[in-house]
Amino acid sequence: MSHPVPIQFQPVDAEALAKATGRIVVVVDEGGKLGAAGRRLDRLMKGALARYLAAPAFVDQKAGEGTVLAWPAGLVAEAVQVVKLDRKADVAQARKAGGAIGRALSEAGTLVLAEGGRHLAELSFGLALRAYDFTAHKTGTAKAPGPVTLMVPNPEAAAAEAAPLAALAEGVFFTRDLVNEPANVLTTYDFAARLAAMQELGLDVEILEEEDLSKLGMRALLGVGQGSESPSKVVAMHWRGGAKDEAPLALVGKGVVFDTGGISIKPAGGMEEMTMDMGGAGVVAGVMRTLALRKAKANVVGLVGLVENMPDGRAQRPGDVVRSMKGDTIEVINTDAEGRLVLADVLWYAQERFNPCGVIDLATLTGAIIVALGHENTGVFSNNDAFCEQFLKAAKAEGEGAWRMPMGDAYDAKLKSRIADMKNIGGRDGGSITAAQFLQRFVKAETPWIHLDIAGTALLQADTALAPKGATGWGVAALNRMIRDRFEK
């Protein structure tokens, strides 16, 4: 498992700059003003730092970005990186600045001089997130970054503020690792085992096997996995940090460890990315890990449906009719619309078993949401305006793009089936919306519910300010924030 780089907070020590190896980072405001230690560094560099800060290049440098001055005279360090962070910087800018540092940490160590910067804990969080590197399947000697030290005016206060963010970084890394893993490693067995191991953090973890699921009547979920050698499972993770009699928030994740499309098989091009079709379950797992690590004072249960969708002589066929745990029958028009079948049963089970105060499901559910929103925003669907607004507020605060999508009876009518209670698809137009309408049929009217379609945000093909190419961990921070703000007392 990947872990964030350890970060030490220390008092500002100007004398340590001359002997520092690796990389020195100077955090400077938009005016280019240096503190006492910064001026000491400039003298060691024979005025080179001040010359850069007075140059047009620094003026043009955007907030949160860094510029490298390589092999500076007068220092042992191999480079000095100048990171601009405005005096009125917000959380997003501070994290971006941290990301600029985390992008290029030195094997010999990195010393960050932040004498007057704002949001230093957030800067350290951005640093940790961007330093992520998934190397589990690369041979050779891994190039691990050396120690990272942040020199700040009040290290004790900064470290205390950074502690819950360090737990959040662990949760994000856990999600990224799960989403990045290939399907021959992250089988339903392996996924369930990784979740069971979190019992050592204080989570209660229960694994439901196929026999249990059959007794519960989860025919919709079981139908998806019946063509695979890997058995389907449902894993429930319960964190009891709130009042004993307080109803939990339920998080539900789609965990299709590989999706060929089944008999309605996908095109070969790009199918290798379907290792990420368990992204919703990965986010739920990351949130639960975060809550346990920071000892959240809330009751939350995370449930994931783990299946593999394969073509086989036993696989589900287009035209089959399955009965859900709720009792409704579903005509399977397209076996590649499998995630909603998994979620239907887990959503119903979550409500029947735990009587939650609200339910949020996450799934890499539709390509249609990418057509609608690209890779900048997750599609948000809900039956409760207040509940939805709480999530959107949390997502905005964490800088995780989210956009509410419409729902309505006209979309729901597209799911009408000739031979069953409903079809599992409603046609190409409005595909992400009809998928949400399908899921809403398995949510009780009195239960506040949010559906998050993360197909466009779970994994990206380019670096971002806070993540390298690959799994992003989108949603862990927003859900952790929502739980902190709305459910913890």
95, 294, 326, 340: which one is catalytic?
Answer: 340
Res 327: pLDDT: 98
Residues 180 and 300: their CA atoms lie apart, in Å, by 25
Res 214: pLDDT: 98
Cβ atoms of 84 and 116 within 8 Å: the answer is no
| 445 CB-contact burial (10 Å; exposed 0-12 / middle 13-18 / buried 19+) | exposed
Residues 388 and 64: their CA atoms lie apart, in Å, by 31
Beta strands 422-423; 299-309: pairing state: unpaired
277 is in an annotated binding site: yes
Res 238: pLDDT: 98
Among the listed residues 83, 178, 87, the one whose alpha carbon sits nearest the alpha carbon of residue 124: 83
39, 103, 240, 266: which one is catalytic?
Answer: 266
Active-site residue flag, 266: yes
Res 1: pLDDT: 86
Report pLDDT digits (tens) over 272-331: 999 999 999 999 999 999 999 999 999 999 999 999 999 999 999 999 999 999 999 999
Q: 165 — phi, psi (to 5°)? A: -70, -30
Cβ atoms of 57 and 80 within 8 Å: the answer is no
The enclosing H or E element of 11 equals strand 7-11
Sign, CA dihedral 44-45-51-53, equals negative
Q: How confident is the model at residue 140 (pLDDT cuts 50, 70, 90)?
A: confident
| 239 CB-contact burial (10 Å; exposed 0-12 / middle 13-18 / buried 19+) | buried
Work out the angle at residue 147's Cα, subtended by the Cα atoms of residues 133 and 8, and round it to the nearest 5 degrees.
110
Report pLDDT digits (tens) over 366-413: 999 999 999 999 999 999 999 999 999 999 999 999 999 999 999 999
* Residue 163 to residues 122, 159, 395, Cα–Cα distance (Å): 11, 6, 20
**Where are the alpha helices (H) located in 240-384, listed in sequence order?**
279-293, 339-354, 368-373
Active-site residue flag, 489: no
Tokens of 191: 């996924």
Q: How confident is the model at residue 82 (pLDDT cuts 50, 70, 90)?
A: very high
Among the listed residues 451, 409, 443, the one whose alpha carbon sits nearest the alpha carbon of residue 426: 409
* Percentage of residues in the chain having pLDDT higher than 90: 97
Q: What is the dihedral of CA 291, 293, 295, 301, to 10 degrees?
A: 30
Cβ atoms of 341 and 424 within 8 Å: the answer is yes
Give the E-state strand segments of 162-240 in sequence order: 204-208, 233-240
| 126 CB-contact burial (10 Å; exposed 0-12 / middle 13-18 / buried 19+) | buried
Q: Is the pLDDT of residue 141 over 80?
A: no
Q: Please report where in the chains the tokens 């989570």 appear, as a residue.
A: 203
Q: Please report where in the chains the tokens 């949020």 appear, as a residue.
A: 360
* Residue 120 to residues 87, 117, 238, 355, 363, Cα–Cα distance (Å): 12, 6, 33, 40, 33
73 has which bridge partners? Answer: none
Res 143: pLDDT: 81
Residues 25 and 392: their CA atoms lie apart, in Å, by 34
Report pLDDT digits (tens) over 29-57: 999 999 999 999 999 999 999 999 999 99
Residues 338 and 278: their CA atoms lie apart, in Å, by 12
Residue 159, C-beta contacts closer than 8 angstroms, at least 6 positions apart? 9
Residue type, 354: F
Work out the angle at residue 316's Cα, subtended by the Cα atoms of residues 315 and 320, and round it to the nearest 5 degrees.
155
Res 350: pLDDT: 98
Among the listed residues 143, 150, 78, 80, the one whose alpha carbon sits nearest the alpha carbon of residue 120: 150
Report pLDDT digits (tens) over 201-227: 999 999 999 999 999 999 999 999 999
Tokens of 414: 């597209």
Round to the nearest angstrom and report the end-to-end CA distance of the chain: 32
Sign, CA dihedral 89-87-151-58, equals positive
Res 247: pLDDT: 98
Residues 349 and 113: their CA atoms lie apart, in Å, by 52
259 is in an annotated binding site: yes
Q: Please report where in the chains the tokens 């890997």 appear, as a residue.
A: 230
Cβ atoms of 75 and 20 within 8 Å: the answer is yes
Work out the angle at residue 340's Cα, subtended by the Cα atoms of residues 175 and 203, and round it to the nearest 5 degrees.
40
Percent of the chain that is helix, strand, coil (3-state, to 5): 40, 20, 40
Residues 124 and 99: their CA atoms lie apart, in Å, by 9
Cβ atoms of 293 and 170 within 8 Å: the answer is yes
* Percentage of residues in the chain having pLDDT higher than 70: 100
pTM over 0.85: yes
Query: Considering only 130-144, 246-260, 293-307, 451-465, which range has the smallest mean pLDDT?
Result: 130-144
Residues 64 and 30: their CA atoms lie apart, in Å, by 10
Half-sphere exposure of residue 471: CA atoms within 13 angstroms, side-chain side: 30
Q: 420 — phi, psi (to 5°)? A: -140, 180
Report pLDDT digits (tens) over 354-370: 999 999 999 999 999 99
Q: Is the pLDDT of residue 489 over 90?
A: no
Residue type, 255: G
378 has which bridge partners? Answer: 402
